[in-house]
Structure 1
Amino acid sequence: MKEEARGVWESLQRVFSQLGPVRLGSTIIFLILAVLIARFSWDTPLIQEAERALYDMRASVYAPSIKKDDRIVMIVYNEDTLKLTGQRSPVDRTILAESLETIDAVGAKAIGIDIFFDMPQDDDELLVASFKRMKTPTFLAYDDAATNPEIDYAQHEFLKGFIDRLAGTNVKPTVIRLVTDSDGVARRWSKLPGSLPPFFAMALAGANPKFAENTGAIRYLVPAVADTPVFDKIPIEAFADPAMAEALGPLLKDKYVIIGGDFIDRDRFETPVASVTGAVGEDKKMIGLEVHAHMLAQLLNDDKPSAVPPWTLWVAAVIVAICGGLSALIVGNSIKVAGILISQGLFFLIFPFVLHKIGIDTLTLPAFGWGLGWLFGYASVGSAARTINSKQRAFAQNALGKYLPKSIAGEILKHPEKLALHGEKRKIFAVFTDLEGFTKLTHAIEPEMVAALLNDYLDRLSEVALEYGGTIDKFVGDALVTFWGAPIAYPDDGERAAKAAYALYLAGEEFRKNVPEGVPKIGVTRVGMHYGDAIVGNFGGEGRIQYTALGDAMNTAARLEAANKALETKVLISREAMERTGLDWYRPMGKITLRGRSTPVDVFEPVPDWAEKERAAVTAVIAAHDKGDTTAIQALVAMIAEIGTDPEKKDLGLVNLLKRLQKTKNGESYALG
C-alpha cells in the first residue's frame, strides 16, 4: 500500500510540474467555482432565473390533478360585490356580518377570513356582534407593523384593538401573509416570526408538526377538467340574500370556508402552475385566497414533499464537478465519447423530474446549477489535460523513433500521458527465453543459415509476445527478453504474461519441427518468469536511448530460465508471479535456491493438459514433504510409473522433482550448483 501511495504521489507531482503553478491554480479555482455554482445556483443572479423556470416546469408537469376539492369553499368579494355595495376599500362589512350568520348556522367546519379590519367603519358594531355570536371556529386576518412593512402603526393598532374586542369568543387571529420569490411568484410556504399567531392554513386545519417549520414548496392542485375549478368560488352577496342563503347554505356544511377578495387589481399572485389550463385566471395569476386554499388542501392531504438535506446538496455539487472533470479525460471513438456526454446531460435534465415525481421537494434543488457546474469542471480539467497532453505527445513523438517497441507505440500515441518521462520503479512480470544448444549449432552450419534460422525463430517468439501484449525489451543472441506492467499496466498483465510464457515454449517446439533438412537437431526453448521490482525507463545516454527494465525481477527471471536445465523442465514460474496470474494450471516443482542467490524460491510449471486431481496430487506431496512426511513421495513414484519409461512420454521434470525431494527433508530448499 505504501508503494502504491508513493506511486500515486509521484504521478501527481509529475502532473503538477507539467501544469505549472499558474495553470494548476486556475484549474483549482475553476473546480471550486464549479462546486459553488452547483450548490448555490438558486442564490446566484441570472442562474436563479433558469432554476425557477425549471422548477416551475417540474411543478406544472407533476402537479396533482383533481376534479374538485369539496372540502374547501371560497366565498369572495368580487367586482359585482363592489358595485352592489358601492364600497371598494375597505370592503363592506355589513354584507360580511349577514353572510357569517348564514355560514355559522349551517355548521361549517371552520371559517377563515382573508381580510384586514385595520380602519374604522360605521358598521363595525354590527360585524363585532356577529363575530361574538359565532359558534363555528373562526380565524380573522392579523399582522403586525414590526414584521410587515405593508402595515403602518395606525393600521396595526386599530387591527389589534378590533381583535382584542373579540377575546373570549370563537374568533381567533391568524396570519395571512404570503411570501413570494424575487420574481413575484408564490412557490413556497411563509416563514413567519414565532411571535405571530398561527398561519392561515395551520389555524383552520389544526397544527400539524410536519408543517410547523415548513418553508418548502406549495403543492398546487390543477383541475382534471379545464372548465372545472379545483375549489368552488361563490360571491359573498349570495349568502347575504336570505332566499339564496337557504339554498346555498347546505353546500358549506362540514367544510372549510375561506372568505376574501377576488379583484382584478390587487392580491393576485403568479404561481408555478400558470401554464396549466384552468389552473389560474385569464391574467395567468391566482388570487391570494386561492393560494391559501391550495395550502390548506396540501395540509389536509398531509402532502409535504421530503426536504433535501443541505449536506447532500454539497455532496452532489462535488460529485458533479468531479464528473465534469473526469468527463474531460474520457478517450475513445467519437460515438463512445458523445454517448457518455449525452447520457450525463440527460441525467441532469431528467433526474430532478424523477425526484419531484417520487415526492422530493425540488424547490431550491440546483438542477441547472448541476449542469453548469459540470460544464465548469469539464472546461477546467479539459484545459489542464490539453496542456499536459501537448507536452507528453511532443515527448512521445520524439521518443518513438528512438526506443519504444512496436507493442506499445500505438497505445502511447493515443495515450502519451502513460509514458514515463524518466526511469521509475514498477512492479512487472519479467519473462526470459533461451534456445538450448543454439550456440553450438552456429558452428555446425553456414552463417547464412544461422541468420535465417535465428530470424525465423525470433520472429515466431516476437509474434507471441506481441499477441499477449508484452513489451519486447531486447534480443540477446537467441534469447528474448520481455515484460508486462510497463510502460502501461493492465489488471490482467499476470495472466497474459503466464500464457505468453507457455506459448513461447510451444512456439519453440513448432520451430524445431520446421527446420530445413540437414540442420542438426535443435534443442527446446526454456522460459523463466518472475514478478517483482524493476526500474523501467530511458537508459543509454543521449547518443542511444533504449526503453528497458533493470533490477531484481529481470535477474530472477533470467536465473529461473537457466534453472530449467538443472530441473529438466521447460517453463519455470516463481510463486510471486504464479499467485498473480489467476490461472490454476500449475504443478509445484519444489523449493530451490538459484545460482548467486541465498533466498529460496518456490517454483511452478504450467501443465494445462493435466487434470485437476493430478495437479492436486503433486501439491499434496510437496505439502507433506514440507511437514517432514518422507513417505508422501511414494505418490510421485506411482505417478511416474503410471506414465511409463517411454523416452517420448517420460516426464523428466517429475522424475527430477522426485530425486530432489529424496535428497531433502522438511521442505528444505534444493540448491542449484
Structure 2
Amino acid sequence: MPWRNEAAEAGAEEIGRTALRGLGQLGVQRTVVALALIAIALFVAFSSWRLPLLRDAEAALYDLRAANFAPPADTDKRVTLVVYTADTNRATGQISPVDRTILAKALTQIDQLGAKGVGIDVLFDSPQDDDELLHASLKAMQTPVYLAYADNKTNPEAITYEQEQDLKAFQQSVKTQKVGPASILLETDADGVARRWPKLYAGLPPLLSLALTQNGPDADKRFASFTGPIRFRVPTASDRPVFDKIPIDLLADPETAPFVADVIKGRYVLIGGDFSDFDQFDTPFTRTGNPVTGETRMIGVEVHASMLAQLLDKAWKAPPAVWVKVLAAVLAVGLGVATAVAQARTWVLALAVLGQFALFLAVPFLVERAGYDTLDLPATGWLIGWLIAFTAVSSGLRAINAAQREFAQGALGKYLPRSVAAEIMRNPERLSLHGEKREIFCLFSDLEGFTKLTHAVEPEMIARLLNDYLDRLSAVVLEYGGTLDKFVGDAVVAFWGAPIAYPDDGERAVKAAWAMYLAGEDFRKNVPEGVPKIGRTRVGVHYGEAVVGNFGGEGRIQYTALGDAMNTAARLEGANKTLDTKVLVSREAVERCGLDWFRPMGEVVLRGRSTPVQVYEPVPDMTQEQRAVSADLISAHSAGEADRVQALTDSVRDSAQGDEAMMNLIERLRKTHEGESYGLG
C-alpha cells in the first residue's frame, strides 16, 4: 500500500539522518579511527594464521582439534619402517654417518622378499669405505628405490653446499631405472611443529611419498602441490602401532630376515633412523599428548610414512575457499558491531557474547570433526576481530553519547552551573523544586573600582572586559570543583559542598579564593591600552549552614544557596577594603580547610552583624615565622599586654612597610582596647 511505502521511506530517512548526526557528533578523526579499527578487525579475522602472536594461539587450537579428532588406525599393512637404532650403532661402531654395509645387506633382503618400493631417509652426503658394497646392492635392485635428497638452499640445517655436491655425485653413480632421488624435506611452522605437507620447490625431486607412488595405481595427482595438513593417526591399541617398525640389523641378517618377510612383501618400506636426539619432529600430539601411547615426538621417517599412508588413502582435504574465509571474517566482525550497537539488558548481552565466543571456538572443531581441513581456518582470529570491532563501535557510541550529554549539559548550563548540570544529567530528579539545609563553604568575590570604570569606558569595552574577567574567575571556580551560583555585575558567587560534598571542599574553596585573586591580578595587568587602572579582586570565604536547592518556579529555575552563611561571606569580601587585605577567610572555614596558609587579622564586627568574627588572610608565600608575627600581636592585645604589643609593633613596623594588611592590623590594635573587636560600621 502507498502509505506503507511512504512510512518505510520516512523511517529510512530518519535512520539516515540519525546516522549522519551521530557521525557528526563522533567527529571526523574518531570516525576515521573507528573505520580503521574495523578494517583491522576484518584483517585479523581473515589473516590470524599469518600474524605472529595470534598464529601461536591458532596453532594451539588446531593441535587440540587434530589430536582429539585424529583417526584411530590398526597397524597399516601397506607401509613398514626399517630403522637404525642405538643398538645398531653400537653393534656397527658407526653413528654418523650410519653404517652402509648393513644397509646394503638389508636392501638385498628387501629386494628378495618382494617389497613394493623402498624409500631411504638417509643422506649419503660423504664418501665412505663401504660405498662400493652399497653401490653394488643399489645397482642390483629390482624393487624401485628412492634415495634421500636435500639441498643447501631449502634445508641449510641438514646439509652444506659441499655435502650437497657429494650427495649428487653419489646418487648419479648409482642411478638406474629403478634407483632415483626423492626429496625428504619436511617443513615446520614457526613454533617448530610439523603440521603440513612441505611446498614443492624448484630444483627438488618429488617428495618421498609422491616418488614412491608416482608410477603406479597408488598415485594421486592432487598431492603433487598439496600443502594442507598431514594426517596423523593414533593406534587403536598400545600393542598395535600404526606402522610396523623393524630394526635394520634384523633384516640385514639372512638368517633372521625370513622371520619378517610378511611385513616386507608387497609393502612400501621406508628406511631411516630412530634416535632419541636426531631427526625428531614435534607434531600436534606434542602439546596435547598422544591419547593412546603417550609418545609425542615423531621420527622423520615416520612423518614420511604418515604422509604416504594419507596419500594411499587419498585423504586429501581441500582448504577452505577464500570467499568462505572472507564471509566468516565479515560475519565475526559484523556480530561484534551488532553486539556493540544492540540495546538490550545486560544479562541478555552477556549471554549473547558468551554464545558468540562459544560459536567461534566450536565451529572449527565441528568442521574438523566433519573431515574438512581446518589448518588455516581462524578461530582466535574471529574472536579477536570481534573484540576489536566491538571496542571500536562501543567506543564510538560512548563518544557520541558523551557528545550528546555534553550538548544537553551545555544547554542546561545556560540556566544552571555546569557542576549542577552534570549532577542533573546523572540524576534528573535533582531538577525538582526543593531546598535542603547543607553545611557549605561560601565564596564571594568583587572587582575593586569596576563600577566607576563603567562611567569612563564605552559600553562595548565594558562588555568585553567583564566577559573576560568573569570567564577567568568562573574557570577558577570550576577548576577547583566549585558550584557557580551567580554573577552579580562583576561579583562572582560560588560555593562548595553542594549539590555534592567532598572531604576536601574547604581546601579547594580556599585555594580557589587565592587563585581568583591571582587571576584578577593577571586580568588587570593585561587590560587594553587606554583603559583606566582597574583595582584588585577581593574575595571572602565562610563556612556555615545555608539552604541550598532549586528556586525560582517552574518557568525559570536557579540553583542557589540562601542564608546567613552566604551573607557572612559577602560581608567578608567587603571587609577586605577596610582591612587592606586581598582574601579574608573566617575562622570556621580556616579550621576545616586543612591548610596552614593563614595569618590572623584580628576579630572584627562585620557590617550589619553584632557577633564578632575572627578573620584570617591566606598568605601562602610567607614563612611560618612571618605568619606568626600577627598571631603574637593579637595574642598580646587580647591579653591586655600593652607593653608587649608596643614592643612587637616596634619590631615589625619597618619590615611590614609595604604590607598594607599588617600595617592596617597594627593601626587597628593601637585604636582598640584589651581584646576589643574592631567594628567595620
Normalised TM-score (structure 1): 0.57
1:115 maps to amino acid: V
Do residues 158 (structure 1) and 166 (structure 2) align?
yes
1:445-456 map, 5 Å: none
Percent identical among aligned pairs is 47
Residue 111 of structure 2 contacts residue 141 of structure 2 at CA under 8 Å; is this kept in 1? yes
Quote the residue 2:220 is aligned against: 208
Question: Cα offset for 1:4?
Answer: 6.7
2:297 to 281, 285, 289: 285
Quote the residue 1:304 is aligned against: 316
Question: Cα offset for 1:195?
Answer: 2.6
Mark the CA change 1:162 to 1:279 in structure 2 (over 3 Å): closer, same or farther.
farther
Do residues 61 (structure 1) and 68 (structure 2) align?
yes
2:36 to 29, 35, 57: 29
SS in 2 for 1:242: coil
Quote the residue 2:646 is aligned against: none
Residues 159-211 of structure 1 show CA distances to partners (whole Å, capped at 9, x for unaligned) of 11111122333111100010001211001101021332110111112242211
Once residues 339 and 309 of structure 2 are traced to their aligned partners in structure 1, the CA distance between those partners, rounded to angstroms, is 45
Once residues 346 and 18 of structure 2 are traced to their aligned partners in structure 1, the CA distance between those partners, rounded to angstroms, is 28
Residues 133-163 of structure 1 show CA distances to partners (whole Å, capped at 9, x for unaligned) of 1111111111223433232222112211111
1:184 to 168, 172, 192: 192
Question: Cα offset for 1:217?
Answer: 0.7
Mark the CA change 1:308 to 1:111 in structure 2 (over 3 Å): closer, same or farther.
same
Once residues 290 and 338 of structure 2 are traced to their aligned partners in structure 1, the CA distance between those partners, rounded to angstroms, is 43
Quote the residue 1:126 is aligned against: 133
Quote the residue 1:167 is aligned against: 175
Once residues 343 and 57 of structure 1 are traced to their aligned partners in structure 2, the CA distance between those partners, rounded to angstroms, is 21
SS in 1 for 2:126: coil
Once residues 4 and 100 of structure 1 are traced to their aligned partners in structure 2, the CA distance between those partners, rounded to angstroms, is 83
SS in 2 for 1:248: helix
Question: Cα offset for 1:322?
Answer: 1.7
1:107 maps to amino acid: G
Residues 489-545 of structure 1 show CA distances to partners (whole Å, capped at 9, x for unaligned) of xxxxxxxxxxxxxxxxxxxxxxxxxxxxxxxxxxxxxxxxxxxxxxxxxxxxxx99x
Quote the residue 2:18 is aligned against: 11
Once residues 135 and 311 of structure 2 are traced to their aligned partners in structure 1, the CA distance between those partners, rounded to angstroms, is 30
Once residues 210 and 357 of structure 1 are traced to their aligned partners in structure 2, the CA distance between those partners, rounded to angstroms, is 22
Quote the residue 2:156 is aligned against: 149
Question: Cα offset for 1:11?
Answer: 2.9
1:286-435 map, 5 Å: 286-392=298-404
Residue 148 of structure 2 contacts residue 182 of structure 2 at CA under 8 Å; is this kept in 1? yes
1:53 maps to amino acid: A
Do residues 111 (structure 1) and 149 (structure 2) align?
no
SS in 1 for 2:341: coil
Residue 132 of structure 1 contacts residue 166 of structure 1 at CA under 8 Å; is this kept in 2? yes
2:143 to 118, 123, 136: 136
Quote the residue 2:278 is aligned against: 266
Residues 440-489 of structure 1 show CA distances to partners (whole Å, capped at 9, x for unaligned) of xxxxxxxxxxxxxxxxxxxxxxxxxxxxxxxxxxxxxxxxxxxxxxxxxx
Once residues 141 and 292 of structure 2 are traced to their aligned partners in structure 1, the CA distance between those partners, rounded to angstroms, is 33
Quote the residue 1:51 is aligned against: 58
Once residues 42 and 27 of structure 2 are traced to their aligned partners in structure 1, the CA distance between those partners, rounded to angstroms, is 23
Once residues 242 and 330 of structure 1 are traced to their aligned partners in structure 2, the CA distance between those partners, rounded to angstroms, is 78
Residue 321 of structure 1 contacts residue 373 of structure 1 at CA under 8 Å; is this kept in 2? yes
Mark the CA change 1:80 to 1:292 in structure 2 (over 3 Å): closer, same or farther.
same
SS in 2 for 1:297: helix
Quote the residue 2:666 is aligned against: none
Quote the residue 1:238 is aligned against: 250
Question: Cα offset for 1:25?
Answer: 2.1
2:298 maps to amino acid: M
Mark the CA change 1:356 to 1:377 in structure 2 (over 3 Å): closer, same or farther.
same
Question: Cα offset for 1:355?
Answer: 1.1
Once residues 311 and 373 of structure 2 are traced to their aligned partners in structure 1, the CA distance between those partners, rounded to angstroms, is 15
Which runs of 5 or more structure 1 residues have no equivalent in the other structure? 401-412, 414-542, 545-673
Once residues 56 and 212 of structure 1 are traced to their aligned partners in structure 2, the CA distance between those partners, rounded to angstroms, is 25
Residues 554-605 of structure 1 show CA distances to partners (whole Å, capped at 9, x for unaligned) of xxxxxxxxxxxxxxxxxxxxxxxxxxxxxxxxxxxxxxxxxxxxxxxxxxxx
Residue 280 of structure 1 contacts residue 286 of structure 1 at CA under 8 Å; is this kept in 2? no
Once residues 17 and 278 of structure 2 are traced to their aligned partners in structure 1, the CA distance between those partners, rounded to angstroms, is 68
1:277 maps to amino acid: N
Question: Cα offset for 1:124?
Answer: 0.7
Residue 226 of structure 1 contacts residue 277 of structure 1 at CA under 8 Å; is this kept in 2? no
SS in 2 for 1:230: coil
Once residues 383 and 114 of structure 2 are traced to their aligned partners in structure 1, the CA distance between those partners, rounded to angstroms, is 54
Quote the residue 2:202 is aligned against: 194
Mark the CA change 1:226 to 1:251 in structure 2 (over 3 Å): closer, same or farther.
closer
Mark the CA change 1:117 to 1:103 in structure 2 (over 3 Å): closer, same or farther.
same
Residue 285 of structure 2 contacts residue 297 of structure 2 at CA under 8 Å; is this kept in 1? no
2:312 maps to amino acid: L
Residue 228 of structure 1 contacts residue 278 of structure 1 at CA under 8 Å; is this kept in 2? no
Normalised TM-score (structure 2): 0.56
Runs of 4+ in 1 over 4 A off after TM superposition: 1-8, 278-282, 390-400
Once residues 145 and 199 of structure 1 are traced to their aligned partners in structure 2, the CA distance between those partners, rounded to angstroms, is 16
Once residues 153 and 280 of structure 1 are traced to their aligned partners in structure 2, the CA distance between those partners, rounded to angstroms, is 39
Once residues 95 and 291 of structure 2 are traced to their aligned partners in structure 1, the CA distance between those partners, rounded to angstroms, is 28
Mark the CA change 1:235 to 1:147 in structure 2 (over 3 Å): closer, same or farther.
same
Mark the CA change 1:7 to 1:331 in structure 2 (over 3 Å): closer, same or farther.
closer
Quote the residue 2:550 is aligned against: none
Residue 116 of structure 2 contacts residue 268 of structure 2 at CA under 8 Å; is this kept in 1? yes
Question: Cα offset for 1:398?
Answer: 11
Question: Cα offset for 1:251?
Answer: 2.1
SS in 2 for 1:212: helix
1:97 to 104, 123, 126: 104
Once residues 411 and 237 of structure 2 are traced to their aligned partners in structure 1, the CA distance between those partners, rounded to angstroms, is 74
Question: Cα offset for 1:245?
Answer: 0.5
Once residues 271 and 186 of structure 2 are traced to their aligned partners in structure 1, the CA distance between those partners, rounded to angstroms, is 16
Once residues 205 and 281 of structure 1 are traced to their aligned partners in structure 2, the CA distance between those partners, rounded to angstroms, is 31
Once residues 292 and 284 of structure 2 are traced to their aligned partners in structure 1, the CA distance between those partners, rounded to angstroms, is 10
1:249 to 256, 261, 264: 261
Once residues 45 and 144 of structure 1 are traced to their aligned partners in structure 2, the CA distance between those partners, rounded to angstroms, is 28
- For these two proteins, the number of residue pairs brought into alignment is 404
Residue 223 of structure 1 contacts residue 278 of structure 1 at CA under 8 Å; is this kept in 2? no
Which runs of 5 or more structure 2 residues have no equivalent in the other structure? 413-424, 426-554, 557-681
Superposition CA RMSD, Å:
2.6
Residue 38 of structure 1 contacts residue 320 of structure 1 at CA under 8 Å; is this kept in 2? yes
Once residues 405 and 237 of structure 2 are traced to their aligned partners in structure 1, the CA distance between those partners, rounded to angstroms, is 65
Question: Cα offset for 1:10?
Answer: 2.6
Question: Cα offset for 1:293?
Answer: 0.8
Residue 66 of structure 1 contacts residue 223 of structure 1 at CA under 8 Å; is this kept in 2? yes
Question: Cα offset for 1:255?
Answer: 0.7
Residue 26 of structure 2 contacts residue 403 of structure 2 at CA under 8 Å; is this kept in 1? no
Once residues 171 and 10 of structure 2 are traced to their aligned partners in structure 1, the CA distance between those partners, rounded to angstroms, is 78
Mark the CA change 1:337 to 1:397 in structure 2 (over 3 Å): closer, same or farther.
farther
Once residues 403 and 299 of structure 2 are traced to their aligned partners in structure 1, the CA distance between those partners, rounded to angstroms, is 65
Mark the CA change 1:366 to 1:255 in structure 2 (over 3 Å): closer, same or farther.
same
SS in 2 for 1:273: helix
SS in 2 for 1:112: strand
Structure whose alpha-carbon radius of gyration is higher: 2
